[in-house]
Structure 1
């Protein structure tokens, strides 16, 4: 069942410690499913671990977490070859596509080799909710900050651009994230940039930011813009606390 309009949930979270498993799917993933409007059947959650190289142990762990949540997890693997004949058709069958973290630069390169840059626009426009954490947040935007190239954070400029903004993740937990975003916005390398503390997500309908949400109390979202004097100006966006937080 497609969402009412093209929807993206871009996050710095989604996983919480499990009671009987190492991790469980947290309130942010549950919100992504809610946004899809699925009702009366088991939600179908497409999963892409491209950014971490489609590691088997990560897929197994996420599958177990989905089972605990009552969701059907359907991994799309691209290493060493796609695991399905029709990638676009497979993604269109999902209620939500969740993209995991890792190297956003490698993710974008591999996706383009397989035509996923064009496919994801059609999947998004068809009403499948696109969501993810870290690399799985930055990828939907035009640009962001990444350690894909080494320990020093750099700008990544070739995001899919479904959302015409920059994106900053792990804003509170990695001490170089905030100053790097500020520097890149001030220099013009990043445009208007939305950022999330760990546990926080951004809900977009079409290309409009509708709200910030959090599965961790006290965390925040932020928008960073270039001021008239050429300096970066940051404003906090207070997130709505999700049930179960």
Structure 2
């Protein structure tokens, strides 16, 4: 059973560090799996793309191990040095959840387009595959956002996949230049209305509607930044605290 409506979980979270080393999937990723409505009796199929980080093999091993502990059937779809599956578009369509890791959103978008994945993601989303991700893996679903893809100074990126007609601001509470740059870009019209997440927070979309903010960490926030009259206004959304 696919998600009830095309669904995206865009986050500044999704991972938690293990006391014994490595990482586990955290609350926002578990929520993405729940929203996929996987039938009882089979493991959820999660496809992970680490394009933004250069498809690092060591990290892929961490993803597989975390998936095994979470009871997921995990596929890592690499694009370096070539696609690691015969038919990437089919792999996406046969997934319950697609999760995109962080890194360089500018490089991610360029590589995806070389392989025609921008259209494949839309087809999967419209078919009910839940799309999600963290940082670059959040921004990619929107029209754009703020990024350090081009160097240490944050700059706008405006050529996202565009499934969601908003801008996206990640790491809103942990990187001091994120908030003022978002405000500047919205105020100047470079970005449209922009939805932002503190670290550990996820934004849940049904179709293109923002239906909920959730968090893995108490006290964190989500924010909507839009032009208001001659200035820019910011509205805080109080996220629902996830149980895991």
Q: Give your verdict on TM over 0.5.
A: yes
Matched residue SS, 2:90: helix
Matched residue SS, 2:205: strand
Superimposed CA distance per residue, residues 127-172 of structure 1 (whole angstroms, 9 cap, x where no aligned partner): 0000000000000000100000011111100001100000000000
Alignment partner, residue 18 of structure 1: 18
Alignment partner, residue 116 of structure 1: 117
Cα distance in 2, alignment partners of residues 178 and 47 from structure 1 = 29
Matched residue SS, 1:141: coil
Alignment partner, residue 235 of structure 1: 235
Matched residue SS, 2:166: strand
Deviation at 1:119, TM superposition (A): 0.8
Matched residue SS, 1:212: strand
| Of 218-227 and 36-45, the range deviating more from structure 2 | 36-45
Alignment partner, residue 178 of structure 2: 177
TM-score by length of 2: 0.98
Alignment partner, residue 90 of structure 2: 89
Give yes or no for contact 1:36–1:129 (8 Å, CA) kept in 2. yes
Cα distance in 2, alignment partners of residues 84 and 24 from structure 1 = 25
Superimposed CA distance per residue, residues 58-117 of structure 1 (whole angstroms, 9 cap, x where no aligned partner): 111111111111111101110000011111111111100000000000000000000001
Give yes or no for contact 1:212–1:238 (8 Å, CA) kept in 2. yes
Deviation at 1:39, TM superposition (A): 2.7
Cα distance in 2, alignment partners of residues 210 and 112 from structure 1 = 29
Alignment partner, residue 186 of structure 1: 187
Cα distance in 2, alignment partners of residues 104 and 232 from structure 1 = 25
CA RMSD of aligned residues (A): 0.8
Structure 1 consecutive aligned stretches of length 4 or more whose deviation exceeds 4 Å:
none
Cα distance in 2, alignment partners of residues 185 and 93 from structure 1 = 37
Cα distance in 2, alignment partners of residues 105 and 80 from structure 1 = 18
Alignment partner, residue 207 of structure 1: 208
Cα distance in 2, alignment partners of residues 221 and 239 from structure 1 = 7
TM-score by length of 1: 0.98
Q: Unaligned 5+ residue runs, structure 1?
A: none
Alignment partner, residue 33 of structure 2: 33
Cα distance in 1, alignment partners of residues 211 and 123 from structure 2 = 21
| Of 130-139 and 14-23, the range deviating more from structure 2 | 14-23
| Of 124-133 and 82-91, the range deviating more from structure 2 | 82-91
Give yes or no for contact 1:21–1:65 (8 Å, CA) kept in 2. no
* 1:126-165 mapped onto 2 (5 Å cutoff): 126-165=127-166
Cα distance in 1, alignment partners of residues 6 and 243 from structure 2 = 24
